């Protein structure tokens, strides 16, 4: 893979990841006249939960589900300039024009998986997936070096049912100036587990699941399983067998193995209801600067979908939205069995 860095018309950074090591990319100039960059977001702290809330009012005007011939993530052509000033690309990352976090409050990047508007991550193949893994790791390492970054979050939202605003296959990467509430809760559980048992929470979960009825797929380096207490009708967690804190820590063989397993898993998910599955796919990485918490943390991917049947979606009801008590209409063991049966 070869990395090339350039600058967009308004000063935002863009990075190309070309799969061929022999690629000689000459960045195209961005000829657009863009307005001034959006003002910074605001962090507010909820006194009841002590959690951070991001106020980003400028995002109300962001692009929302444009037709394919107006997609801002497609390559630029002679007659239309987009966010990517190049006629083609493999994988590309750039600062979001409408970021949730900006300035001293963090940074948000877009990661485009392909120049092909009509494809999906499931259909790109293992070579491209491997390039994406390298891009995730590269951006995670770079963003972790930014002053004020406490956690780096790589994720993909897919499908209008999830709330995506652009159909083009892409994900996002956030450099967060705080440790997220979910991470804080999980780390508290890991800390309590170590004090009570002397063991590693994630290692013990993996050991309990690896030979059980909820395993979906596995190889030498990774296991994908439906968690015992899944909140969502379709939910899969993917754990590396080696205890590593983050994506940059993965070795080459582990990255290869993930690309193979995840590509195959995404294909199964689309076959589950014979249609593209809407989902959120989230990488959980250790906090950047908290030494003891990094030792407690374990890299893992958690994917979930709001689709509970071919013609039904899960909406958060009163107990879930109001009190955080999830009620799953589908047994995790049944979901795991169906995903195993969806293998080609």
Residues identified as active-site? 170
**195-232: burial string, b at 16+ Cβ within 10 Å, e else:** eeeeebbbeebbeebeeeebbbbbeebbbbbbbeebbb
Residue 93 DSSP one-character state? E
Distance from C-alpha of 12 to C-alpha of 22, rounded to nearest angstrom: 26
For the record, the structure tokens of 317 come out as 């009801």
Q: What is the largest CA-CA distance in the chain?
A: 64
Distance from C-alpha of 98 to C-alpha of 205, rounded to nearest angstrom: 38
3-state secondary structure of 229: coil
CA-based torsion, 160, 166, 172, 176: positive or negative: negative
Phi, psi of 160 (to 5 degrees): -60, -25
Nearest to 151 by CA among 133, 130, 177, 171: 177
Nearest to 332 by CA among 266, 222, 237: 237
For the record, the structure tokens of 80 come out as 């239309």
For the record, the structure tokens of 212 come out as 């059980």
3-state secondary structure of 279: strand
Residue 309 CB contacts under 8 Å (≥ 6 apart), including other chains: 233, 273
Beta-bridged to residue 174, according to DSSP, are 108, 153
Cα dihedral 257→142→21→111 (10° resolution): 70
Nearest to 156 by CA among 175, 142, 136, 140: 136
Phi, psi of 157 (to 5 degrees): -105, 130
């Amino acid at each position: 893979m070869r990395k090339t860095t350039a600058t967009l018309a308004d000063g935002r950074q863009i990075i190309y990841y070309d799969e061929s090591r022999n690629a000689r990319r000459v960045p195209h100039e961005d000829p657009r006249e863009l307005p001034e960059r959006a003002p910074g977001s605001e962090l507010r702290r909820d006194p009841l939960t002590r959690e951070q809330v991001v106020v980003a009012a400028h995002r109300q005007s962001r692009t929302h589900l444009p037709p394919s011939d107006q997609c801002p993530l497609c390559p630029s052509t002679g007659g239309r300039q987009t966010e990517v000033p190049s006629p083609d690309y493999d994988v590309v990352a750039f600062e979001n024009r409408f970021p949730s976090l900006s300035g001293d409050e963090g940074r948000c990047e877009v990661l485009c998986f392909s120049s092909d508007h009509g494809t999906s991550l499931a259909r790109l193949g293992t070579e491209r997936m491997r390039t994406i893994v390298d891009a995730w790791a590269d951006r995670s390492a770079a963003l972790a070096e930014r002053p004020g970054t406490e956690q780096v979050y790589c994720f993909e939202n897919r499908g209008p049912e999830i709330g995506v605003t652009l159909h083009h296959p892409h994900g996002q990467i956030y450099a967060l100036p705080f440790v997220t509430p979910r991470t804080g809760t999980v780390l508290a559980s890991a800390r309590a587990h170590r004090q009570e048992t002397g063991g590693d929470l994630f290692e013990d979960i993996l050991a309990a699941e690896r030979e059980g009825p909820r395993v979906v797929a596995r190889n030498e380096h990774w296991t994908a399983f439906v968690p015992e207490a899944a909140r969502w009708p379709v939910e899969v967690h993917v754990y590396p067998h080696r205890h590593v804190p983050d994506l940059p820590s993965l070795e080459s063989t582990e990255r290869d193995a993930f690309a193979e397993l995840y590509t195959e898993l995404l294909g199964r998910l689309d076959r589950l209801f014979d249609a593209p599955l809407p989902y959120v796919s989230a990488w959980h990485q250790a906090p950047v600067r908290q030494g003891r918490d990094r030792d407690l943390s374990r890299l893992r991917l958690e994917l979930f979908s709001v689709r509970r049947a071919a013609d039904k979606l899960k909406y958060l009801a009163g107990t879930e939205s109001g009190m955080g008590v999830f009620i799953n209409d589908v047994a995790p063991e049944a979901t795991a069995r169906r995903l195993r049966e969806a293998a080609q």
